[in-house]
């Protein structure tokens, strides 16, 4: 996909590096499935970049979340606290393992509202010093899935303290935040996905780097990643006699995908520079984008714009050959989750009615940003933020 047509898409891959070279090499070796040197090279490159101890690549971020829940011991009838502002794939794996989601509101960063989370645990739960139980459902709460939305980062220091006090596991869904890290504070230098028990990234086609489809699970707990890799390869205990003592999954990434991923991660810092430049240029052109947390070096994955005329603006931009999209429909309102428990969700609903994302690809030129900005300003006045 490229920008040769005059239609400006929201977020498309930038395959301008060594992708073809590495893929051709993988094909020449004959190792095109889930075994091959590029799988290991890509895992090592991810670890080196974000300073994690170990990684296991898989078929998707969703698969990574599923495996993470399993190895952290989340089981049938457990509860997991989740955000309502995210792509639904963040929450679906909770149901895969037979657990129940409890939905939390967002704050101004679109990430989980930690203040409300703390109040929920204090006021709506019973804690005996070891186990947290939901007063309403009587079920045990075992984990929190936090999402670093659009490349922003949650205040992980506060969240980690809450999790430690209540003996809860944390999964970082860092699907959108590869390359984001703290610039200051106690977590200075820490990358998204590396601070909790487990972190998960996605390499879908619209992410800052892509393998077409795919994901990776990372952790500083080597045993957890060993379990993830074991389960992702059908839990094969013996490679010769096909002995399987557990139920496993066919979740391993292919060598061809990993070859693309290696070429992509070689370019990630340049991608982030372009993302940052274009975000700032939108603002220079008078587009009032929602700001990112200044305490972090964001990867600026997606740009958000506030308007009282969301649907009309999306259609207006489309008529001008510009793709945009609304914020995800809140997950707790989705048909399959309407009966799930949610806690005082207000801000997420306000944002959903007013936020759209603007084109942000890494091959978006400044001329294109100027064109989008000019067309956008002719439509309406944005909301201030």
Say if residue 383's pLDDT is above 80: no
Q: Looking at residue 2, what is its pLDDT?
A: 45
Which range marks the domain in which residue 86 is found? 19-265
Q: What is the CATH number of the domain that holds 373?
A: 3.90.1150.10
Give pTM, 2 decimals.
Answer: 0.95
185-243: pLDDT as tens digits = 999 999 999 999 999 999 999 999 999 999 999 999 999 999 999 999 999 988 789 99
Is residue 31 predicted with pLDDT exceeding 60? yes
Tell me: do 372 and 290 sit in the same domain. Answer: yes
Question: Domain check: are 99 and 170 in the same one?
Answer: yes
305 with 218, same domain: the answer is no
Confirm whether 139 is domain-assigned: yes
Same domain, 260 and 319: no
Last residue of a domain, one of 232, 265, 298: 265
CATH of the domain at 165: 3.40.640.10
Tell me, yes or no, whether 245 and 301 share the same domain. no
Question: Is the domain of 220 the same as that of 244?
Answer: yes
Task: Give yes or no: residues 321 and 304 share one domain.
Answer: yes
Q: Establish if 13 belongs to a structural domain.
A: no
The mean of the pLDDT values for the chain is 95
The answer to whether residues 31 and 95 belong to one domain is yes
Same domain assignment for residues 245 and 279: no
pLDDT of 29 above 80: yes
What is the number of domains present in the chain?
A: 2
**Whether residue 186 sits in one domain with residue 57:** yes
Which of 246, 265, 284 terminates a domain? The answer is 265
The predicted structure's pLDDT at residue 239: 78
**pLDDT band, residue 1 (cuts 50/70/90):** very low
Residue 56: inside a domain: yes
3-state SS, one letter per residue, for the chain? CCCCCCCECCCCCCCCCCHHHHHHHHHHHCCCCCCCHHHHHHHHHHHHHHCCCEEEEECCHHHHHHHHHHHCCCCCCCEEEEECCCCHHHCHHHHHCCCEEEEECECCCCCECHHHHHHHHHHCEEECCCCEEECCCCCEEEEEEEECHHHCCCCHHHHHHHHHHHCCEEEEECCCCCCCEECCCCCCCCECCCCCCEEEEECECCCCCCCECCEEEEECCHHHHHHHHHHHECCEEECCCCEECCCCCECCCCHHHHHHHHHHHCCHHHHHHHHHHHHHHHHHCCCCECCCCCCEECCCCCEEEECCCHHHHHHHHHHCCECCEECCCCHHHCHHHCCCEEECCCHHHHHHCCEEEECCCCCCCHHHHHHHHHHHHHHCCCCCC
385 within some domain: no
Span 314-367, pLDDT tens digits = 999 999 999 999 999 999 999 999 999 999 999 999 999 999 999 999 999 999
Would the pLDDT of 44 be above 80? yes
How much is the average pLDDT of 157-175?
A: 98
Q: What is the per-residue pLDDT for 238?
A: 85
Q: How confident is the model at residue 32 (pLDDT cuts 50, 70, 90)?
A: confident
pLDDT digits 0-9 by tens, 76-134: 999 999 999 999 999 999 999 999 999 999 999 999 999 999 999 999 999 999 999 99
Task: Assess whether 247 and 274 both reside in one domain.
Answer: no
One domain for residues 246 and 357? no
Q: Could you tell me if residue 14 is inside a domain?
A: no
Nearest to 313 by CA among 348, 368, 356, 361: 356
């Amino acid at each position: 996909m490229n920008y040769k047509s005059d239609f400006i898409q929201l977020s498309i891959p930038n395959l301008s590096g060594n992708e073809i070279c590495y893929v051709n090499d993988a094909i020449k070796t004959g190792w095109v499935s889930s075994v091959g040197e590029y799988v290991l090279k890509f895992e090592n490159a991810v670890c080196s970049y974000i300073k994690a101890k170990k990684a296991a690549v898989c078929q998707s971020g969703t698969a990574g979340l599923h495996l993470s829940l399993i190895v952290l011991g989340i089981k049938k009838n457990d509860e997991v606290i989740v955000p309502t502002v995210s792509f639904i794939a963040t929450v679906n794996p909770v149901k895969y393992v037979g657990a129940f989601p409890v939905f939390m509101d967002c704050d101004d960063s679109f990430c989980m509202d930690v203040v409300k989370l703390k109040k929920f645990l204090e006021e709506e739960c019973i804690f005996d010093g070891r186990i947290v139980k939901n007063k309403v459902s009587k079920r045990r709460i075992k984990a929190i899935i936090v999402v670093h939305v659009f490349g922003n980062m949650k205040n992980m220091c506060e969240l980690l303290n809450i999790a430690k006090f209540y003996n809860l596991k944390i999964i970082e869904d860092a699907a959108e935040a590869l390359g984001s890290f703290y610039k200051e504070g106690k977590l200075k230098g820490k990358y998204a996905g590396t601070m909790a028990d487990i972190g998960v990234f996605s390499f879908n086609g619209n992410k800052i780097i892509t393998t077409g489809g795919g994901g990776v699970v990372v952790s500083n707990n080597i045993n957890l990643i060993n379990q993830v890799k074991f389960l992702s390869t059908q839990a094969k205990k013996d490679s010769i006699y096909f002995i399987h003592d557990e139920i496993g999954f066919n979740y391993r990434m292919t060598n061809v995908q990993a070859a693309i991923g290696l070429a992509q991660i070689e370019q990630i810092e340049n991608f982030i520079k372009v993302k940052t430049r274009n975000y700032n240029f939108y603002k220079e052109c008078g587009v009032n984008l929602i700001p990112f947390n200044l305490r972090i070096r964001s990867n600026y994955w997606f740009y958000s714009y506030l308007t009282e005329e969301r649907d009309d603006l999306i259609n207006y931009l489309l008529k001008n050959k510009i793709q945009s999209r609304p914020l995800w429909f809140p997950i707790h309102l989705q048909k399959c989750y309407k009966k799930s428990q949610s806690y005082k969700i207000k801000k997420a609903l306000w944002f959903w009615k007013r936020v759209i994302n603007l084109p942000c690809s890494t091959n978006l030129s400044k001329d294109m940003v100027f064109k989008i900005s000019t067309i956008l300003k002719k439509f309406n006045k944005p909301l201030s933020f």
